[in-house]
Amino acid sequence: MSYLLLRAAGVPAETAERDFLLSNTFCREPDRKVREELRKSGYMRDPDLLIPLQEVREDYLEAALEQAEEDYGDLYGYLTEGLGLDTRTLARLRARLLR
């Protein structure tokens, strides 16, 4: 979601990807705590199995972008056709995000 919002706001792809991947840095400790609580509670024997679901990874992003290109031609097509955002909505989103 963060990557999509950054790109919808007009942030260059390279910058959006770098910021997207920073999510791991900010979420590492809270995610670890969730896994530890699951372990303590007995809900999961091996909560570390969740790590691939909790992390953001470059290959996950690449796969999503490839799918968006295959299905909609490009990321803009995904935003407009896939998500149903019109140019007015995208312009309003950019204006609000770039205050």
Domain ranges of the chain: 2-97
Which stretch of DSSP H or E encloses residue 78? none
User: Tokens 């303590």 sit at which residue?
Assistant: 40
pLDDT tens readout for residues 64-79: 999 999 999 999 999 9
pLDDT tens readout for residues 27-65: 999 999 999 999 999 999 999 999 999 999 999 999 999
Which stretch of DSSP H or E encloses residue 27? helix 23-41
**Amino acid letter, 78:** Y
pTM score, whole prediction: 0.81
